[in-house]
Amino acid sequence: MSRMMKLFISAIAAMGIVRFALNMSGLPNEIVKYFSMTAIIIAGEIYFALTTATHKERLKAAYLLVMPYMIIEVLALGYTWASGRPTIFHANEYSLGFSVRVHTIGHLVGGLTWEPLFVFLMMEIIWGIYAGTRSFLKVRAA
């Protein structure tokens, strides 16, 4: 695993912990929502789309970027489920009206299936645009 991947994994996990801690300290969701694991994942998505050489490497990167997010989400939702204490992780705008139980299971299943595949798809689109632009510029320069 590359140094940059370790950095992104650590940043995603740290942001999730900060998000949970801020929420538990009583900060309103309107402020806590700006502490975003998704923003870090998107930055990693762009970085690895441009720096990995193969589709297989991008697929692996997508799974590695989603894993800390999924773990934090499932743990925080598990806390909400076990304690009954609401957290931002199960706020109405994120739970889509599902129960905390369904929401938790959904994140666990999604984190292992469609979520990393969606990140991979976005990485492939970014890589395709980048590779196509590079090829076009090479042809134009020749």
pLDDT tens-digit readout, 55-98: 999 999 999 999 999 999 999 999 999 999 989 998 888 888 88
With CA atoms as reference, report the closest residue to 58 among 133, 130, 132, 135: 130
Confidence at residue 77, expressed as pLDDT on a 0 to 100 scale? 93
| Residues 13 and 72 sit within 8 Å (Cβ to Cβ) | yes
All residues at 6 or more sequence positions from 102 whose CB lies less than 8 Å from its CB, including other chains: none
Q: How far is Cα 14 from Cα 78, in angstroms, rounded to an integer?
A: 18
- Asked if pLDDT for residue 8 goes beyond 80, the answer is yes
Residue 142 has pLDDT above 70, yes or no: no
Q: Which tops the pLDDT comparison, 95 or 117?
A: 117
What are the tokens at 38?
């998704």
Q: What is the mean pLDDT of the chain?
A: 93
Phi, psi values for residue 74, rounded to 5°: -65, -40
Q: Which residues contact 126 (CB under 8 A, 6 or more apart)?
A: 45, 46, 49, 50
The per-residue pLDDT for 112 is 93
What is the residue-wise DSSP string for 22-34? HHHTT--HHHHTT
pLDDT tens-digit readout, 12-33: 999 999 999 999 999 999 999 9
User: What pLDDT was estimated at residue 67?
Assistant: 97
pLDDT at position 13 is 98
> What is the rounded CA–CA span in Å between residue 73 and residue 4?
22
Amino acid at 63: Y
Helix (H, G, I), strand (E, B) or coil at 2: coil
